[in-house]
Structure 1
Amino acid sequence: HYIKKLSDREMLTYRVEIIPVEVVVRNIAAGSIVKRLGIPEKTPFNPPLVEFYLKNDELHDPIICEQHIYAMKLAKPEEVQKMKELALKINDILKEFMDKHGIILVDFKLEFGRKDGEIVLADEISPDTCRLWDKETGEKLDKDRFRFDLGDLMEGYEKVLKKLKGEG
């Protein structure tokens, strides 16, 4: 969990006990949900969808439901509820922030942990963990550029940076 920036390349963080569940918030259909359920890309979700994935590389991070989380003793019901609440609050803040800068927040992944009995955000929020589209052009500005050979990944990230700085 982030405490403060130490330099351009370093930050101070709290050590947390990671909950091995990825929480994905989806505002618009894209990526795996399109493939998995046949929902047309760009279909808006209102309210946003919250999905859970087991953090397990060998199993390719399968989608799971809350009951799986409880059965596997990964988190208690009140912890899952807190993760959902935090994820949706982060979504509200991030979606509005990105919109003001000409970026559509399509979806993003969060990871949480436990610190002194509290559920806290335990991983970065960056273009690596978000699906971002240019509000005017629909251009994909995230890892999909790499996944689908849509252009230079760093160019997309630089466009995000320029927009966030008010330069693009």
Structure 2
Amino acid sequence: MARRRMVYEGKAKILYEGPEPGTLIQFFKDDTTAGNGEKHAQIEGKGVLNNRLSELFMTGLNNIGVPTHFIRRINMREQLVRAVEIVPLEIVVRNVAAGSMSKRLGIEEGTALPRPIIEFYYKNDDLNDPIVSEEHIIAFGWATQQDIDDMISLALRVNDFMSGMMMAVGIKLVDFKIETGRVYEGDFQRLIVADEISPDSCRLWDIETGQKLDKDVFRRDLGSLTDAYTEVARRLGVMPRNTSSGSGPKLVH
């Protein structure tokens, strides 16, 4: 790893120069943060689980024609991805009121929404990633109207895919965040899903009990984050169901 050139380091991942032009190696760290980095901890094995789960989701999306930056998993913590020009927006899709939506609007957490609601947040840690409107996005040149339409279309397709996958294993997809990146093909550009999709970027509740199986476990001190993520991986077939907690991730290849 020391011989690679680091391109970017975020809270939970590091990007290194890839082996071929137009590629990057995405490394998943065990670092876990909440409150825009105000709360921080090292959760052993979290990076391994997120790498494998993100591979599962991104591969599934690629297979149904939703374009992503994912190429292949390299090892337990790394994956090869396509280099993209990241759009400085987080796209959040909400199926159930929770988190900041409940706080902002006074809606009881757990209230089912009449339809998926899409929100945009400007990616800026110094400003705590503020929510923005489509008017802001266009006015400040972060994306065009066509880009916004494409991001909404991608987000709704990801929502359909992820909701079905989670429901099949008894998990409710409450909300999730994606990022998109621009890729250029000759004179044309298009947007594809980038970054990661994992329990770090989703709210996942057990359908029957309401147990939280996502980063809210860490945010709200509700127990072991590793156990929560491991349960998601078990249900989705990424880990054998008889793996004991505390023994470290043993992933199914």
Bucket of the pairwise TM-score, normalised by the shorter protein = over 0.9
Q: Of 214, 219, 222, which residue of structure 2 is paired with 1:147?
A: 219
Cα distance between partner residues in 2 of 1:82 and 1:149 = 37
The normalised TM-score by structure 1 is 0.97
Unmatched 5+ stretches in structure 2: 1-68, 243-253
The normalised TM-score by structure 2 is 0.65
Cα distance between partner residues in 2 of 1:138 and 1:129 = 18
Is 1:13 equivalent to 2:85 in the alignment? no
SS of residue matched to 1:141: coil
| Matching residue of 2:153 | 85
Deviations 1:7-50 (A, max 9, x none): 22221111100000000000000000000000111111131000
Q: Of 15, 23, 33, which residue of structure 1 is paired with 2:91?
A: 23
Q: Of 79, 83, 102, which residue of structure 2 is paired with 1:34?
A: 102
| Matching residue of 2:27 | none
| Matching residue of 2:129 | 61
**What is the total number of aligned residue pairs between the two structures?**
168
Is 1:158 equivalent to 2:230 in the alignment? yes
Cα distance between partner residues in 2 of 1:87 and 1:55 = 17
| Matching residue of 1:123 | 195
Higher helix share: 1
SS of residue matched to 2:88: strand
Cα distance between partner residues in 2 of 1:7 and 1:148 = 31
Q: 1:159: Cα distance to partner?
A: 1.1
**Could you say what the CA RMSD is over the residues aligned between the two structures, in angstroms?**
1.2
| Matching residue of 1:113 | 181
Unmatched 5+ stretches in structure 1: none
Deviations 1:39-66 (A, max 9, x none): 1111111310000000000000000010
SS of residue matched to 2:157: helix
Cα distance between partner residues in 2 of 1:30 and 1:68 = 24
Q: 1:141: Cα distance to partner?
A: 0.7
Cα distance between partner residues in 2 of 1:120 and 1:63 = 21
Rg comparison, structure with higher value: 2
Deviations 1:93-150 (A, max 9, x none): 1001000011110000000010011101111000000000011211001111111111
SS of residue matched to 1:90: helix
Higher relative contact order (CA 8 A, sep 6+): 1
Cα distance between partner residues in 1 of 2:147 and 2:160 = 20
Is 1:138 equivalent to 2:206 in the alignment? no
